[in-house]
Amino acid sequence: MILLPLSDHDPMIDRYKKSTFYSLWTRYKFIPLYWKILPIAFLLAGIFFLDQMWIPTPVPPEILHRLYYLPIVLSGLLFGFKGGMLAAVVVTGLFVPHWVDWFAGPALHSGHLDEVVLFFAFGILIGLLVDRERLETQLRQDQEHLAVLGEAAATIAHELKNPVITIGAYVQRLLQKTNPEDPNRERLAVIRRECQRIEVMLQDMIHFSRPINPEFSFVDINHLIQEVLKIIHPRAEQYQILLSSNLEGDLPSIQVDQTRITQVLHNLILNAIEASGTEQSVLVCTRRQRGQVIIEVTDLGCGIPPDCQEKVFAPFFSTKKGGSGLGLAISKRIIELHQGRLSFRANQPQGSIFTISLPLGKKNPPSRFGFSSESKE
């Protein structure tokens, strides 16, 4: 059995999985519980009888003592940590006659506590390795399952997008031709708004599952923030929000994917504006801190309820009416792609502060899943 995680495409693993031993071991692992316990019990009994010299054997006693490690290893492989520990306890009990001379025949063993320590060390080590291998296998299967679900969701979203756009376009034409006093006009407007909302959600789902290769370049982060603020300023005026910045002047350029970071900033600032009340302020500030460039987006809005704070970055979770729930999830993935961190905390006396931490210096991370267009929460 392979205990350490290796590549699924390793030639050694491929040969091992084709071996007779692997086939038999795999079948044995999935047989009923009692058929797993009985061989271990018979093995313990056989070793005990041999060790007590109740069965004639030419094998030296010192070698017979070492046979007790076999049921410990087998129990650990089959049942993990708990199995290894339980087998070590049983073997320790069977080994007691070597210390107290309960039976005539076997020589007293001089190891005493040392041997017990080795029994438990074997049981714990084998059990922990097996438990870790099982956990990693389960995680790998879960990731593969999620990847399949993501691909299926992206395919379905892509297929649904065109019909929804078509429906929305026809509804828009009907709206233009409908008399303002017609009672059906309001119903058509509702259909149009819902079609637009579905379009946004489908677009976000497609982008959420699309793989990208990040294109890093050195960027003046303060200049990038100023450009984003210029773009968002009309929206702030629409909501009657005061949009301001406090940017540290001597920040060095950092290596980022400009398009992705622009997307994150755009999303966070828009969220702050939409969470704020009339004539409240949204502040964007930057500073350098311990080899990191820190970007903070602060608002004085409604904040995030305590019972929702753990789900803020979860996909498809949103506290906004009509939100797709992918904006912050996408933003977090993008920042992690830059080896950074996106977090939030409550503002005092009200509102929220979202913080982006980006490392200084050159980065060359491997390609990961990413996203390629603006997406709102």
Q: State yes or no: pLDDT of 146 exceeds 80.
A: no
pLDDT band at 376 (very low <50, low <70, confident <90, very high): very low
pLDDT (tens digit per residue) in 212-254:
567 889 999 999 999 999 989 988 998 899 999 999 988 889 9
Looking at residue 277, its pLDDT comes to: 85
- Strand-pair partners of 297: 284, 354
* Average pLDDT for the chain: 78
CATH of domain 217-359: 3.30.565.10
What is the DSSP code string of 20-62? Answer: HHHHHHHHHHTS-HHHHHHHHHHHHHHHHHHHTTSS---S-HH
Max mean pLDDT among 205-209, 229-233, 314-318 falls in 229-233
Q: State yes or no: pLDDT of 347 exceeds 80.
A: yes
Distance (Å, whole) CA 101 – CA 139: 49
- Strand-pair partners of 51: none
> 159 versus 231: which is more confidently predicted?
231
pLDDT (tens digit per residue) in 26-61:
666 666 777 778 888 888 888 888 777 777 777 676
Q: State yes or no: pLDDT of 1 exceeds 60.
A: no
Looking at residue 24, its pLDDT comes to: 67
Q: Is 18 helix (H, G, I), strand (E, B) or coil?
A: coil
pLDDT (tens digit per residue) in 187-197:
888 888 888 87
Lowest mean pLDDT among 21-30, 75-84, 132-141, 198-207: 21-30
Closest of 110, 39, 116, 46 to residue 74, by C-alpha? 39
Looking at residue 229, its pLDDT comes to: 93
Sheet holding 352-359, edge to edge: 242-247, 281-289, 292-299, 352-359, 341-346
The mean pLDDT value for 63-82 works out to: 84
The mean pLDDT value for 280-287 works out to: 93
pLDDT band at 321 (very low <50, low <70, confident <90, very high): low
Looking at residue 206, its pLDDT comes to: 72
Distance (Å, whole) CA 221 – CA 354: 16
The widest CA-to-CA distance across the chain, in whole angstroms, is: 108
227 burial type by CB count under 10 A (0-12 exposed, 13-18 middle, 19+ buried): middle
Distance (Å, whole) CA 294 – CA 343: 11
Q: Is 356 helix (H, G, I), strand (E, B) or coil?
A: strand
Query: Strand 292-299 and strand 281-289: pairing?
Result: antiparallel
Tokens of 355: 């913080």
pLDDT band at 340 (very low <50, low <70, confident <90, very high): very high
Looking at residue 6, its pLDDT comes to: 41
Distance (Å, whole) CA 264 – CA 249: 22
Question: Which residue type, as a one-letter code, is found at position 357?
Answer: S
Query: Strand 281-289 and strand 242-247: pairing?
Result: parallel
pLDDT band at 282 (very low <50, low <70, confident <90, very high): very high
Lowest mean pLDDT among 11-15, 126-130, 157-161, 348-352: 11-15
Distance (Å, whole) CA 358 – CA 339: 7
Tokens of 44: 């313990």
4's CB contacts (< 8 A; 6+ apart) are 129, 133
Distance (Å, whole) CA 194 – CA 267: 21
Q: State yes or no: pLDDT of 370 exceeds 90.
A: no
- Helix H, strand E, coil C: the string for 122-157 is HHHHHHHHHHHHHHHHHHHHHHHHHHHHHHHHHHHH
Looking at residue 367, its pLDDT comes to: 41
The mean pLDDT value for 270-295 works out to: 91
Looking at residue 243, its pLDDT comes to: 92
For the chain, domain boundaries = 31-209, 217-359
